[in-house]
Amino acid sequence: MTHVTGILCANGAFPGIAPEAHVVALKILDENGQGNSAHAVAALRWIMDNAVKYNIKVANLSIGSNDKKGNRALREAVERLWQAGITVVAAAGNADRQRSFDPPAPISPAILTVGAWEDREAYARSVKTSPFLAADDLLPDLWAPGEQIPSVLAPQYRFCLQNRSRENIISEGYILMSGTSMATPMVSGAAALMLEKDPRLSPKDIKQILLGCALRKEGLLDIDAALAHTPSVKQRR
């Protein structure tokens, strides 16, 4: 959770995408990075109940699933957030690049699914078609960098030290990590910057602008272009 938050809004040695964003962090995974859909649903319902109180506009889901059919309760919880004006950004799923990829959690058109740019060729081999143009629930809406991304490291976070080489620790309190969980907060940060420019943007607006700009770069997130295409409040008046 700490490294994901750092990619989104850190303001230290490795600044995040939206360093002035405020974050409400909900813990649904244990120290080994494991959890279940019930915890995710409970977190999404909490966001729905507290969105106005904490001015929550973007929900980042850097989690995966091995449920190939999708989870109905999780999907419905996400869609309620989307309908309430909250942009939901979810990881498209991680897997060994020599095997098929797990689906996003949850599977729904009412989210922005994000894949790691470095995985796009492996996705193509997996589905035997273009990963960006195919209309398939298992494919990401757009890509963002996800390989060896520097971010903050919590002292108590044992999962990365158990499953990653200690060589990835680049300095005290910082580590390099890879995967769609790292790519996802980049898109969430982009959405936050867009909302900072125009708070009246709907999730549909944000998704349309981000995908339109990414299309010009083979599906790669283009934050500068997205902000350039986001009208400011003054421009709307």
The CA distances from residue 122 to 26, 72, 95, 159, in Å, are 31, 28, 10, 25
The predicted pLDDT at position 131 comes to 42
* pLDDT averaged over every residue in the chain: 82
Range of the domain at 114: 2-236
Task: Report the C-alpha gap between 10 and 8 in whole angstroms.
Answer: 6
154 token code pair:
């919590």
The predicted pLDDT at position 67 comes to 59
pLDDT beyond 60 at 236: no
pLDDT beyond 80 at 202: yes
pLDDT band for 61, please (50, 70, 90 cuts).
very high
The predicted pLDDT at position 54 comes to 96
Considering only residues 195 and 120, tell me which one the structure prediction assigns the higher pLDDT: 195
Of 16-20, 28-32, 90-94, 189-193, highest mean pLDDT? 189-193
The predicted pLDDT at position 208 comes to 95
* CATH number of domain containing 17: 3.40.50.200
- Domain total in the chain: 1
Classify strands 149-152 and 174-177 as parallel, antiparallel or unpaired: antiparallel
Task: Report the C-alpha gap between 179 and 189 in whole angstroms.
Answer: 17
3 token code pair:
């490294």
- The pTM for the full model equals 0.86
pLDDT beyond 50 at 84: yes
pLDDT digits (tens, 9 = 90+) for 130-188: 444 444 455 788 999 999 998 887 776 655 555 555 677 787 788 888 888 899 999 99
What is the helix (H) or strand (E) element at residue 183, kind and residue range? helix 180-197
pLDDT beyond 70 at 68: no
Q: What DSSP letter does each residue of 104-146 carry, written as one string? A: BSS--SSSEEEEEGGGHHHHHHHHTS-TTT---TTS-SEEE--
Mean pLDDT of 219-223: 96
Mean pLDDT of 62-75: 72
